[in-house]
Structure 1
């Protein structure tokens, strides 16, 4: 099953039979477990770039993603460890997503 680039987290909600894969490209792939060996993609949710760290609350069926704004990518020096962009101070936030209705499967 194809998902976005840079997967960071996966979660399964037994109450809804939904599986979630959060990716650094700013997407969450949501799939329904139709059977032990069958998943069907029901949505590719657009989030924000780099919003990939995810938690699921199985009681409320909501997913939570950490997000922030980032500075420009630093110049890379050959042979040196890869430099990552820094978070813009004060830009951290939690994105919360829930279902509007239940799925009929």
Structure 2
């Protein structure tokens, strides 16, 4: 299994961000080929020391890294990536990795 984790910084208007993310961005992202699962954080994002500088975390799961690469080369993947510019006013950091059960 491989994951793409997107950490969204605190947006200029959190309520507008949340509405756009749920109503527009998530449905768009769910069209990405090869996507197996899409999760978002609920409630405040925390660190062991207290609140994080992250407003929302999205985790997208795929079969492997090659599927992620192909997914974001697709028209749907490119449209989803471009959509970040529309609503992610706090920026977004992305991590991509394979994982294994241990």
Which of 1 and 2 has greater Rg?
1
Q: Which has the higher contact order (CA 8 A, sep 6+)?
A: 2
Decide which structure has greater strand share.
Answer: 1
Provide TM-score, normalisation by structure 1.
0.27
Decide which structure has greater helix share.
Answer: 2
